[in-house]
Amino acid sequence: MTDLEFEELCIRCGGCCGSFDGNPCEHLRRDEKGLCYCAIYENRFGWHKTVSRRELECVPIIEKLTEEWIGEHVCAYKRKFEKN
Ligand code: SF4
Ligand code: SF4
């Protein structure tokens, strides 16, 4: 699987950025179709704040798969890699 194919698995639900828990990362945005994107994508890794100012560390999704979050059942990576 190429890097591009890996990235294209994402359905842009934003769950890994807190879109389902009412306190998402302050950099999470939605486009006109309601799909999530990161406003600082190229510089996303590291410490940020949620909209209610809680600390949040942004890490590559492959590292985040060991964590749990609200709505994780929607995540394409969780679905693909935790089944195998
Ligand atoms: S910085 Fe990380 S956690 Fe915040 S919106 Fe961007 S990708 Fe999501
Ligand atoms: S939870 Fe998974 S599918 Fe949803 S935006 Fe994050 S990486 Fe993409």
74-82 mean pLDDT:
92
Ligand 1 centroid, distance to 58 Cα (angstroms): 6
What range does the domain containing 14 cover?
3-81
- On the question of pLDDT at 84 being above 60, the answer is no
The confidence band for 83, taking pLDDT boundaries of 50, 70 and 90, is low
0.85 surpassed by pTM: yes
Ligand 1 centroid, distance to 80 Cα (angstroms): 21
The pLDDT tens digits for 28-64 are: 999 999 999 999 999 999 999 999 999 999 999 999 9
DSSP result, 21-75: TT--BTTEEE-TTS-EEETTGGG--EEEEBTT--EEEE--HHHHTTS--TTGGG-
The protein residue with its alpha carbon nearest to ligand 1, atom 5, reads: 28
Ligand 2 centroid, distance to 30 Cα (angstroms): 13
Question: What total of structural domains would you count in the chain?
Answer: 1
Q: What per-residue string of b and e applies to 24-42 under the rule 16 or more CB within 10 Å gives b?
A: bbbbbeeeeeeebebeeee
Question: Which ligand ends up closest to the CA of 27?
Answer: 1
Q: What is the DSSP letter of 5?
A: H
Residue from 7, 48, 62 to probe ligand 1 pocket by mutation (most atoms less than 8 Å from CB): 48
